[in-house]
Structure 1
Amino acid sequence: MKNLVRAAMLAASAMPAIAYAQSEDARKFGAREFIQQISLSPDGTQVAMLQPVSGRGDALMVANLETGESKMVLNSSGDPDQITSCRWASTTRLVCNIYMIGKLDKKLAFTRMVSLNADGSDLKLLSQRDSATALDIIQSGGDIIDWGPDGSNGSVLMTREFVPEYSTGSHVANAREGLAVELVDATTLKRKLVESPRGGANEYISDGHGNVRIIGFAQARNEGMLTGNYSYQYRTAGDRDWKKLGDLVSDGGGGYSGFNPYAVDRDANVVYGFDDKDGRSALYSIALDGSLTRKLVFAHPEVDVDGLVRIGRQRRVVGVSYATDKRTTEFFDPELQKLRNALGRALPGKPLVTFIDASADEKKLLLFAGGDTDPGTYYLYDKTSKQLGEVMPLRPPLAETKLASVKPVTFPAADGTQIPGYLTLPVGSDGKNLPAIVMPHGGPGSRDEWGFDWLAQFYAARGFAVLQPNFRGSTGYGDGWFQKNGFQSWRTAIGDVNDGGRWLEKQGIAAPGKLAIVGWSYGGYAALQSPALDPDLFKAIVAIAPVTDLETLRNEAQGFTSYNIVSKFIGSGPHVKEGSPAQNVQKIKAPVLMFHGDQDLNVGIGESRMMASRLRGAGKPVELVEFKGLDHQLDDDKARTQMLDKSDAFLRAALGLAAKP
């Protein structure tokens, strides 16, 4: 197996050593992924990679897979601009999405698309320029939904938001409003309107060959307030008229009923999407020939089918994926299934294989392979030569670090329900009498999966056993498991989390008095809310970007069109106060450490500040670490390293453990 990119040179240019870490483990695990996004050129000879630089910045590196040479062609500071993705419009031209946070009356997220040559020259704004006469702000710079007609001619099919404009002098005001689709030449910026703006439109789905076949509308009332419901229309092949496809209806708690379209197959003339089967998500197809013939494509009796596997520049559907104990892919394409099996044999210890991109003729495939004890590596497979070449590992600083294995487990909740989760034990440990951490996931509409997790692996490297429970309120296990959601059904969700801690103790995995809880986002909420049900269980609490007050979370959506959706998700009644950590600080006995970025648009930093203030007012030990200029993900090597260092020291002090270098 040959190396296709000069990793040492890229590492030297993109990842300066972090000298401020108190521990080597914090430095290695706190470093962001070396490849944050990657794409393959249409001819299969180059890759464009987004890599971290300067703590929180990003760099676009273009590497020649034949010579191994690479060049940085674009970079961002991360304060506030970030490059979030870059893709090939042609063999010589790239289009990139830029994300930033701005402040008008409120902090708002903005995106803009740019295009540039593969050598970094001729940088241009691809999104339509804002008009000085616009009557509203445009946050989105558009999304690419397809390439030009032949897939590699350098044009992109992208959405564009139109807003009304006022008239000046003798000019007539532009009254066009809504989401449209344009075909844009990525070099000349010549634009052609493909789909006129439609009020309420929020989604277009193309067939992979430049033809828009599906349009989605977000339903709204009361001066544009979204309801959470969606309606879809489709076109038959070669026709411009829209016909009714169906509705997607929200239950107000995060669940939906109805067909949710994802991808159109031009040759089969069907749309693939997800809908309910026996209380779980399954993949269906619906014919777009006017008959709307519906077929069940794939369902699983135990878990949701939640992943659509697509490949190539036409993004053709080739399979589905779902997660039981481990994520599994079922390929419809026999050739890819055969290749997947061969790769499994060629890459032992890396069973999680994902096809990332392909050349225009699909003779070269860019793929990722990893596992629990291997963060993963990107590879290029050449179908013609049957050669597999390594492009770049995801986390080079961990190359010489032996990682802990992750074991799927179940434990009983108080009512006897078996709760699935994942247990990570320190390397070389017998799994007994250890300091232990329960680590609930974020969301709450999410779940943990088997594989590499940098947070869990860090704490395992520091000697902790880590349990990640997929408590009731998690997604992936059907409607019955999700319940009303992790806020409205907080007693069940938090009860399951706490039962995970009790199981660690009963199994002898957790040493007496050495049990802590650590969580991010909803996981941070769960960590802070856990004492409401059992104040004596956890001896230390670490909460990262946590929700601390449900009414405050609701109020953060005030002034946005999504307010009604957020409000219904949170619900009303006694649980709003009873389920808010900031309203129940008197029940917290363990010391608390919190981390939060002051540009967090998911959960405002005011929630952590409120929690810290109320804990101090109640005489409880608490510390809040604020990261200036960072959002919910804390995408900064220095901040993540500091967070790992400080949380490790905090847990050791709170649990009475010896310091570790």
Structure 2
Amino acid sequence: MHKYFIAATLLASATTPLQAASEAAKKFGARDEIQQISLSPDGKRFVAVVADAGRGYRAMVFTIVAETPPVTVLASNGDKEHLDYCQWSDNSRLICGFSVVTGGVRDMLGFNRIVTLGADGKDLKLLSARTSMDASGPMQNGGRIIDWQGNAEGSTVLMTRQFLATTSTGALLAVENPGMGVEQVDPVTLRRQTVEKPRSTAREYIADGQGHVRIMGLQPTTGEGYSGTRTLYQYRKPGVSTWLPLSTVTRDSQSGQGFDPYAVDPALNVTYGFDVQDGRRALFKIALDGSLKRDLVFARPDVDVDGLIQVGRQHRVVGATYATDKRQVEFFDPELKKLGASLAKALPKTPLVRFVDASADESKLLLWTGSDIDSGGYALFDKKTRRLDGLLRSRPPLDGVTLAPVKAITFPAADGTQIPAYLTLPVGSTGKNIPAIVMPHGGPSARDEWGFDWLAQFFAARGYAVLQPNYRGSAGYGDSWFSENGFKAWRTAIGDVNDGGRWLVKEGIAAPSTLAIVGWSYGGYAALQSPVLDPTLFKAIVAIAPVTDLDTLRHEHDTYMDYNLVDAFIGKGPHVRQGSPAQNADKITVPVLMFHGDLDQNVGIGESRLMANRLRAAGKKVELVEFKGLAHSLDDSEARTTLLDRSDMFLRATMGIQ
């Protein structure tokens, strides 16, 4: 059996401190070793997408019972090419997805492709449709598997396809309408059959796990060719080809409004999806028999219900998930509800349990378990034997390292609102008068959760207290908390972030002279924008892949179909200039360190370059570290190690920390 669990006594007694910054940076900067994992239908093997020491990934097939070494069947070097996932088509064949970025900073173009190959690494074939030499443009979307059992025998899959118009000698050919359709594809023979004709406005299809497409999402475009803000969902009754209206979802500057379908249960003949109830996201089901009878499945009075729990090759809906102080699961399936309670008792030190995959008969379940002080790992549970066996650890370099507990707290904002947050204190510290960091999350339509965080844990290991606030503008707490989002309502969001820093000082946790702010993406924006409201609060700023100019961010989407959505999210008015760090560089009075990948498609590297230039022009101290060939997540162990090491040295030098 592959090594996974370390005895709880060993974890509890590990006392090896990380003294050298470079050693700590290397351990914490190493990427999560398992990007994705999948169990074979018979439950005898699993495939894992495993990180290498740099930025590449390997797909490795492991045999569970036999003591045979794993086999590497596919790899990517991470240089503009990324291996995203591998799933089992059947017990002997895999289907894997790649994403590729071409071009440079000014002409980046993203593609994805799906391939199929044997579980022995042989017989590699392109599963995505090949493009014609006469195609009118590039086929960026190589498709997505929407059903792993495309027929009764389970020998085919259903996958979306982007159909392109073709040209000949400069004239547009009269071919079927371009757009997204669905094909039934045999992964062995590559025989493909269109089961849903392409539609120019189609953006989504949902199948029932038994080879039938039951729901379609249409998103009409504007006169300028951009995506509209409404998605029109239609459905089919069982065995009927006619499409009927289901719901309309409007996505504007705030969260979506209207029933948003996510899955179909063919046995109950319903679709599960999310809609807003009493200002918070809740889970509903709607009958697909023509009645459209709608029932509330699960809701919370305090937070959004934000996810479905699905298991098996049919992606059977078995529960819902939400986050209060910690991530919680509400099971609808009685057997899994009982199992979840048993696992919680059996694994008290790793209370976070996630069902990742299952064998075809669901007798074997692939799980991930972890906690705030355990970066986690994967295990296999056999229902018949009631045995739980460990498979792989998520972050082997951290095994044996004592991590810092994370505590859910609240602190008061200036207007008295209690802001939920997470506080991590260095192991063995008094928690008083120590260096401290406020670390706002990205998004802004996201939130921090209780659990392991490599960035926060690194700084805690280096002696900093870390506060992660879920400021107003964060997702997960309902529409009123999200408000107009953290860009339009930046004064509120950034005010909450700054109030977190003031709370650290007031509570005696932070020494006022060693209080810093560190953030990634929107968090980087918050770090750079914080001095606009209080120039003297933070003594050093670290911003990773930050938004620095709202109008620049808007126009980065000029040539993308989502321009209208981004435009509405940012909005128009005085806040665009007032809420842009690059337009307020003169307000920054402390040194700034920035990091950015030059292939970032979320926030262009030009934003960090603009910010650096504005700061230099204003006579400020700034350093920008650029990473070649990396995207927004800086998915490279060496780059992340550099980021951690240089950030720590920068903070210590700037704030005089020994």
Would you say the 8 A contact 1:5–1:65 is kept in 2?
no
Aligned to 1:348: 348
Spell out, residue by residue over 1:619-654, the C-alpha distance to the aligned partner (whole angstroms, 9 max, x if none). 101000000000000000100000000000001111
How far apart, CA to CA, are the structure 2 residues paired with 1:365 and 1:278? 36
1:145-184 paired onto structure 2 within 5 Å? 145-149=146-150, 153-167=154-168, 173-184=174-185
Structure 2 residue aligned with 1:141: 142
Inter-partner Cα distance in structure 2 for 1:51 and 1:230: 36
Q: Deviations over 1:79-101 (max 9, x none)?
A: 11110011000001001110110
Which segment is superposed worse, 488-497 or 337-346? Answer: 337-346
**Does structure 1 residue 483 correspond to structure 2 residue 483?**
yes
Number of residue pairs aligned between Structure 1 and Structure 2: 643
* AA matched with 1:124: K
**Distance of aligned partners of 1:171 and 1:485 in 2 relative to their CA distance in 1, 3 Å threshold:** closer
Corresponding residue SS for 1:599: coil
> 2:13 maps to what in 1?
none
Q: What's the counterpart of residue 219 of structure 1?
A: 220
CA contact 1:305–1:320 (8 Å) conserved in 2: yes
**Higher RCO by CA contacts (8 Å cutoff, separation 6 or greater):** 2
Q: CA deviation at 1:103?
A: 2.6
Residue 506 (structure 2) pairs with residue 506 (structure 1) = yes
**Aligned pairs for 1:561-640 within 5 A:** 561-640=561-640
**Tell me, which stretches of 5 or more residues in structure 1 are unaligned?**
8-20
Equivalent position amino acid for 1:28 in 2: K
Q: CA deviation at 1:66?
A: 0.9
Residues 3 and 170 of structure 1, relative CA distance in 2, 3 Å threshold: closer
Q: Work out the CA distance in 2 between the residues paired with 1:98 and 1:333.
A: 34
Distance 1:81 1:564 in 2: 29
Measured at CA, do residues 54 and 451 of structure 1 come closer, stay the same or move farther in structure 2, by a change above 3 Å? closer
Task: Measure how far apart 1:150 and its partner are.
Answer: 6.0
Partner residue, 1:245 = 246
Is the 8 Å Cα contact of residues 540 and 590 (structure 2) preserved in structure 1? Answer: yes
1:151 Cα deviation after fit? 7.7
Distance in 2 of aligned mates of 1:612 and 1:272: 47
In 1, Cα distance between equivalents of 2:577 and 2:164 = 40
Q: Which runs of 4+ in 1 moved over 2 A?
A: 2-7, 103-106, 148-154, 167-176
Residues 269 and 608 (structure 1), Cα distance of their counterparts in 2 relative to 1, 3 Å cut = same
Instruction: Please state how far the C-alpha of 1:169 moved relative to its aligned partner.
Output: 11
Q: CA deviation at 1:122?
A: 0.5
CA deviations on 1:489-530 (whole Å, 9 max, x unpaired) are 000000000000000000000012110000000000000000
Give the AA of the match of 1:400: G
User: 2:69 aligned with 1:72, yes or no?
Assistant: no
| Equivalent-residue separation in structure 1 for 2:154 and 2:169 (angstroms) | 39
**1:262 is matched with which residue?**
262
What pairs with 1:54-453 in structure 2 (closer than 5 Å)?
Answer: 54-69=53-68, 70-103=70-103, 106-149=107-150, 153-167=154-168, 173-250=174-251, 252-453=252-453
| TM-score relative to the length of structure 1 | 0.95
Residues of 1 paired with 2:582 and 2:167: CA distance? Answer: 46
Offset from partner CA, 1:177-231 (integer Å, 9 cap, x none): 1111111111111101111111200000001111110000112111421122100
CA distance in 1, matches of 2:277, 2:294: 13
**Which residue pairs with 2:463 in the alignment?**
463
SS of 2:576's equivalent in the other structure is helix
Quickly say closer, same or farther: Cα 1:45–1:574, change in 2 above 3 A: same
> Hey, what's the Cα distance between the residues in 2 that align with 1:237 and 1:171?
38
Which whole-Å CA distance do the structure 1 matches of 2:348 and 2:322 have between them? 21
Question: Is the CA contact (8 Å cut-off) linking 1:152 and 1:360 kept in structure 2?
Answer: no
Decide whether the 8 Å contact of 1:4 with 1:65 is kept in 2: no
- Sequence identity of aligned pairs in percent? 60
The one-letter code matched in structure 2 to 1:238 is: G
* C-alpha separation in 1, matches of 2:431 and 2:227: 50
Secondary structure of the residue that 2:531 maps to in structure 1? helix
**Measured at CA, do residues 480 and 68 of structure 1 come closer, stay the same or move farther in structure 2, by a change above 3 Å?**
farther
- Structure 2 counterpart of 1:288, one-letter code: L
Partners of 1:127 and 1:141 within 8 A in 2: yes
- Is the contact made by 1:4 and 1:67 (CA closer than 8 Å) also made in structure 2? no
Question: Are residues 1:27 and 2:26 paired?
Answer: yes
**SS of residue paired to 2:546:** coil
- Pair 1:39-2:38 in alignment: yes
CA distance in 2, matches of 1:379, 1:6: 9
Matches within 5 A, 1:538-553: 538-553=538-553
Q: From the superposition, tell whether residues 272 and 655 of structure 1 become closer, same or farther in structure 2 (CA, over 3 Å).
A: same
Counterpart of 2:184, as a letter, is L
Tell me how far apart the structure 2 counterparts of residues 354 and 22 of structure 1 sit (CA, whole Å).
Answer: 33
Shift in alpha-carbon separation, 1:192–1:410, aligned structure 2, 3 A: same
The farther-off stretch of 105-114 and 644-653 is 105-114
